[in-house]
């Protein structure tokens, strides 16, 4: 019987290109950058792999080098809920690390993804000694607060086209998800998981947004053409 190694067992040192894609490393002093880089680990998460689990203590600050993750609950108290997607360039979980509390959510790979982790002790040490790193984390927390306020507004939207538009816009956040750029590599099925609709209904919504000039559907993904209109999209 073949047993797939755990994510931790698959961990390795990052390549130079992977280090270059990590946004917060660029704000550090050369000494802090070298020290943090030496402690970073990366691993390839397979579809369905859980990077974080509800009730487990945090051990790393995680980021997405490539691929797509999702944040969700466990459905124990009712229907499972997907809170958000986590695309390339995103670093997440700093609030849990700061409080050193157990995770209140699952983070799961939607597809084959490369995930990086900074040990919690190095994360804390950087906060203690690096003002630029503190500013980066503080900005992350501020932007994430705005993101979750917007997510509550999306939850109140019943029209599927609006839900798809607002959720897409959230995945193009330039601060939280700098690795996305203008092209989000995502399948319609993956977007359906994140939005909570069928793939067929997501396809209809994407075509409606395309016809209005807000997005362009390309091979393997969606390109945003008008982010401001996508964020404020409504149906009369």
CATH number at residue 201: 1.10.10.10
Residue 5 domain flag: no
Q: What is the DSSP string of 158-193?
A: --HHHHHHHHHHHHT-TTT-TTTTTEE---HHHHHH
pLDDT band at 2 (very low <50, low <70, confident <90, very high): very low
* Full residue range of the structural domain in which residue 167 is found: 159-231
Q: Looking at the structure, do residues 164 and 141 belong to the same domain, yes or no? A: no
Q: Looking at the structure, do residues 139 and 179 belong to the same domain, yes or no? A: no
**Do 124 and 98 contact (CB within 8 A), yes or no?**
no
Cα(236)–Cα(232) distance, integer angstroms: 13
- Alpha-carbon distances, residue 203 vs 70, 82, 139, 197, 199 (angstroms): 20, 19, 34, 10, 6
User: Domain ends where: 105, 121, 150?
Assistant: 150
pLDDT band at 3 (very low <50, low <70, confident <90, very high): very low
User: Domain ends where: 124, 150, 176?
Assistant: 150
User: What percentage of the chain reaches a pLDDT higher than 70?
Assistant: 91
Q: Looking at the structure, do residues 201 and 87 belong to the same domain, yes or no? A: no
Long-range contact pairs involving 178-182 (C-beta distance under 8 Å, separation at least 24): 178/23, 178/89, 179/21, 179/64, 179/65, 179/66, 179/87, 179/88, 179/89, 179/90, 180/87, 180/88, 180/89, 182/223, 182/224
Question: What local confidence, expressed as pLDDT, does residue 155 receive?
Answer: 63
pTM: 0.82
Mean pLDDT, residues 68-89: 78
């Amino acid at each position: 019987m073949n047993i797939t190694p755990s994510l931790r067992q698959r961990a390795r040192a990052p390549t130079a290109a992977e280090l270059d894609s990590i946004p917060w490393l660029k704000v550090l002093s050369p000494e802090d950058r070298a020290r943090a880089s030496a402690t970073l680990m990366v691993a390839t998460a397979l579809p369905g792999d859980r990077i974080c689990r509800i009730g487990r203590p945090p051990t790393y600050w995680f980021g997405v080098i490539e691929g797509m993750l999702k944040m969700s609950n466990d459905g124990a108290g009712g229907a499972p809920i997907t809170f958000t997607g986590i695309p390339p360039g995103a670093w997440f979980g700093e609030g849990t690390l700061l409080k050193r509390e157990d995770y209140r959510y699952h983070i799961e790979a939607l597809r084959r993804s490369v995930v990086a982790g900074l040990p919690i002790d190095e994360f804390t040490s950087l906060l203690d000694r690096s003002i630029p790193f503190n500013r980066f984390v503080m900005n992350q927390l501020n932007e994430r607060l705005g993101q979750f306020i917007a997510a509550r507004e999306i939850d109140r939207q019943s029209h599927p086209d609006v839900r798809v538009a607002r959720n897409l816009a959230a995945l193009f956040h330039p601060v939280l998800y700098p690795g996305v750029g203008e092209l989000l590599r995502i399948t319609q099925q993956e977007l359906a998981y994140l939005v909570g609709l069928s793939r067929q209904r997501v396809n209809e919504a994407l075509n409606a947004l395309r016809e209005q000039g807000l997005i362009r559907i390309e091979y393997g993904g969606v390109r945003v053409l008008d982010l401001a209109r996508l964020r404020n999209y409504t149906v009369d």
